[in-house]
Structure 1
Amino acid sequence: MGLIDKVKSYLRKPIEEKLEQAEMLSSGSPVFSPFSGNAYESDVYRAAVDAIARNAGKLKSKHIIYSKKNSERMQGDQHLNRILQVRPNAYMTAYDLIYKLVTHYYLYNNAFAFLQKDDRGNLQAIYPLSPTNMEYLTDPSGTMYCRFLFGNGQHVTFPLSEVFVARRFYNSNDLLGDTNTAIMPTLDLAHTQQEGMEHAIKSNATIRGILKTNQIIASDKLKEEKEAFVNDYLTASNHGGIAAIDQKYDYVPLESTPVTIDDKQMDAVKKKIYEYLGISESIVNSTYTEDEWAAFYESVVEPLALQFSLELTDKLFTEREQAFGNSIIFESNRLQFASNKSKTDMLKELIPLGLLTTNQALEILNLPPVEDGNKRLQSLNFVNQDKADQYQNVGGKTNERNPARGDQGTTNGK
């Protein structure tokens, strides 16, 4: 069974005849079509999108239950977490899913996925969708649907509640992100630069001179004379670089000065593409510093994590389930990209406060956990606020023993 047939079999209410195109307040149309500019053919644009998708693919999604009563965060359903973290469907891993969705997000400014659920509304699988066309529809009750057209000509309609939707440049259309037309002139310029370099390289293989005969000869004989002249004088074997000819020939050399592209011009075009995607060249070529990575994470990866988290939370849980603290979050161990000095300085500050267990500290240092490593260590130089007055001499009274100093207490300040 193909993927289209598989997802079609999960559609529970085939009510195509009752659906009509959704009405919009804006002047746009609720119809999505992948932009035909094909920005992915640009090596600069593709490398930049790949860098974002590769790093976003390291995000870890999980189902959590947040208890408002005691402000604790508990692990959620293990089956749901396996789908989110390991195998969202039979065809790909969790990394593949995020990579594909993020790639679609930056190529088309719209990313879609089908959320396959059972009869009880529990998630069974997630399938990223690559439609050639998508249209928002509504039924008489106002429920919204998404009708997808795929490359093989088949239509599939899903309730919007079972479709993951992520939008970029969400401005002029009420339901869809805008196209990438703004960057196409720059991509065309990058393509022109690439062609210019190719022509400059090939120019050395074109005509570099004219061999003129001073008599009329047959065309086949003329060709033979030309080939003989080339073999005798225009090959690497002519070490002297001098041609000796009689009055039968006139050789006129042609000056060929190929136009080369300045490095600054190429860098300027690259910079415009990178700025359009919100990243720097150091992220693309993996030469980033700790601060550059932090800026990239906060400005690019973290907004993606937030957007994906909110969308999945809304589509996988009812309002009642969300009220009881159920949500999907995307998180990443950002500290693994910090320098060893930054990690060490942070541990020196946090461990004395009892904020980290031994295993949590080892994880920050990219070291394996140890047995009994879930205990917290804390310095005795800190005291509970409720007991702070017991360790001070108030009104000349006797101090309590101060375990932070290891003494037995004093009397009247002596």
Structure 2
Amino acid sequence: MSWIDKLKNRISGKNATYAGMLNGMTPIYNQFGQNIYASDVVQQAMKCIVDEFVKLRPLHVKEEGTDIIPVHGDIQSLLNNPNPIMSKADFIEKISYNYLFDLNSFIIPIYYTWKDRAGRLQRKYTAMYPVRPMQVTFIEDASGTMYVKMEFGNNFETIFPYDDIIHWRAQFSVNEYMGGNEFGQADHGPLLKTLQLNNDLLNGISRAAKSTYAVNGIVKYHAMLDTNDTPARLKEFEDRLLKSESGILPLDMKADFTPITRDIKLVDNDTLRFIDEKILRHFGVPLCILLGDYTKDQYEAFYQKTLEPKIIKLSEAFSKGLFSQRERNGYKNRIDFYPKDLVFMSTDQTLEMVRLLGDSGALYENEKRRSFGLQPLPELVGVRMQSLNYVNVDIAANYQLQEKKKESEKNE
């Protein structure tokens, strides 16, 4: 039995109604659409983004003043090992593709609860699974609690409290609950037109290539040939053509050969490049990123424009789904997804920045590590180092006078 078949409905649904929407629509959404993934350019563009997401490292942290403290507990274990059938990289890859396909990625955390000695309800997470329901319906009960009913391809249905799931949305604009268009779906209309144009061009190139293997000439015989004799004469002509090493084919007075000239028009490189870049712009992936031939500045622009907003929303979606409001606001718990390295500066620029701010005591040691994309360490929490080569400007004059006095006394 699948893991999802073991889930039980959290509410009976008897007193539940559809969640209200200001535009008067019923909040039922189908995740259907034309398959844009059939395009090789779309596959490559998505893969560029997903490959960058896979490099992210999720970390459970708490804020204490200006410092960020890593928390090594059940939540971090869940982030490192999401479920028995997926590694951390597999999990991030799966939710990222769902996010790009549907502009809505749903993750279901599995947990059990108990009451501690003080009577407070505690929760322990055991796994979390990415799901791609065929239909989702937003409903609420009499108390105003929001629920999500999910229907899957095997006709399985289940209902979750909306606060208990992780919902990562893209293009959250005209719809009140889902990312995408007003129907909660990815609007692939403009992209499909470009993909159709690209497909037509590729088919034209294919037909042009095949035409080079078509009839290349006409052999005219100065006599009436019997129907049974025509294949033999044609075979004789082909044999002569194959045996001619010089490229010159001798013919007698019985036959004339008339070649067929072709003027095949292929699509120019600029047109093909324009179509590819038009598709890539839909996903925010420059051609240099796709080809892997990019500079530091180009990757920085790609990160800031395409990746960073999605990573911020991913972190906030996990924080909201795994922590209660009290845990987030009161105890400052959150989930951060750290990139592999700092993309805003070159390595030399980062080293210079850390050296200048670090020597003056303006950076905590964990902040220095984070500048290079490294995880903060518990033993460095609250540790701040300062170089003795610096002095406060208010006492600099007195310091210099004392040094001169010491030097004068030494000389005497």
The interval holding the TM-score normalised by the smaller chain is 0.7 to 0.9
How far residue 159 of structure 1 moved from its aligned partner, in angstroms, is 2.5
Which of 30, 34, 43 is the aligned partner of 1:33?
A: 30
CA distance in 1, matches of 2:41, 2:135: 27
Which of 280, 283, 288 is the aligned partner of 2:286?
A: 280
Determine if contact 2:10/2:159 at 8 Å carries over to the other structure.
no
Asked if 1:76 is matched to 2:78, the reply is no
Which of 129, 132, 135 is the aligned partner of 2:131?
A: 129
Structural mapping, 1:5-16, within 5 Å:
6-11=3-8, 13-16=10-13
Structure 2 residues without counterparts, runs of 5 or longer: 114-121, 182-186
Aligned-pair Cα RMSD in Å: 3.4
Amino acid at match of 1:207: V
Structural mapping, 1:114-263, within 5 Å:
114-119=108-113, 120-176=122-178, 177-178=180-181, 179-213=187-221, 214-218=223-227, 220-233=228-241, 235=242, 237-246=243-252, 248-263=254-269
Aligned length: 389
- Cα deviation code 1:66-112 (max 9, x no counterpart): 23xx443322352211221x211111122222222222222222222
Amino acid at match of 2:270: K
CA distance in 2, matches of 1:147, 1:266: 44
- Cα deviation code 1:183-206 (max 9, x no counterpart): 111111222222223223222222
How far residue 296 of structure 1 moved from its aligned partner, in angstroms, is 1.6
How far residue 263 of structure 1 moved from its aligned partner, in angstroms, is 0.6
How far residue 316 of structure 1 moved from its aligned partner, in angstroms, is 1.6
CA distance in 1, matches of 2:297, 2:384: 30
Which of 271, 276, 294 is the aligned partner of 1:270?
A: 276
Amino acid at match of 1:159: P
Q: Secondary structure of 1:98's partner?
A: helix
Amino acid at match of 1:197: I
Cα 1:26–1:409 shift into 2, 3 Å: farther
Determine if contact 1:28/1:172 at 8 Å carries over to the other structure.
no
Cα 1:409–1:207 shift into 2, 3 Å: same
Determine if contact 1:53/1:102 at 8 Å carries over to the other structure.
yes
Structural mapping, 1:305-320, within 5 Å:
305-320=311-326
Structure 1 window deviating more from structure 2 (345-354 vs 256-265): it is 345-354
CA distance in 2, matches of 1:39, 1:163: 27
Higher RCO (CA-CA < 8 Å; seq separation 6+): 2
Amino acid at match of 2:206: E
Cα 1:171–1:227 shift into 2, 3 Å: farther
Q: Secondary structure of 1:92's partner?
A: coil
Determine if contact 2:166/2:320 at 8 Å carries over to the other structure.
no
CA distance in 1, matches of 2:271, 2:368: 47
Structure 1 residues without counterparts, runs of 5 or longer: 393-398
Determine if contact 2:55/2:340 at 8 Å carries over to the other structure.
no
How far residue 321 of structure 1 moved from its aligned partner, in angstroms, is 1.5
- Cα deviation code 1:112-150 (max 9, x no counterpart): 221222224333222111233333333444433333333
Q: Secondary structure of 1:335's partner?
A: coil
How far residue 265 of structure 1 moved from its aligned partner, in angstroms, is 0.5
Cα 1:409–1:326 shift into 2, 3 Å: farther
Name 1:90's counterpart in structure 2: 84
How far residue 336 of structure 1 moved from its aligned partner, in angstroms, is 6.9
Cα 1:245–1:400 shift into 2, 3 Å: closer
Determine if contact 1:402/1:409 at 8 Å carries over to the other structure.
no
Name 2:101's counterpart in structure 1: 107
Determine if contact 1:336/1:364 at 8 Å carries over to the other structure.
no
The normalised TM-score by structure 1 is 0.81
Determine if contact 2:27/2:137 at 8 Å carries over to the other structure.
yes
Q: Secondary structure of 2:129's partner?
A: strand
How far residue 54 of structure 1 moved from its aligned partner, in angstroms, is 0.7
- Cα deviation code 1:26-49 (max 9, x no counterpart): 366633334432121211111111
Cα 1:227–1:138 shift into 2, 3 Å: farther
Aligned residues: percent identity?
26
Structural mapping, 1:364-375, within 5 Å:
none
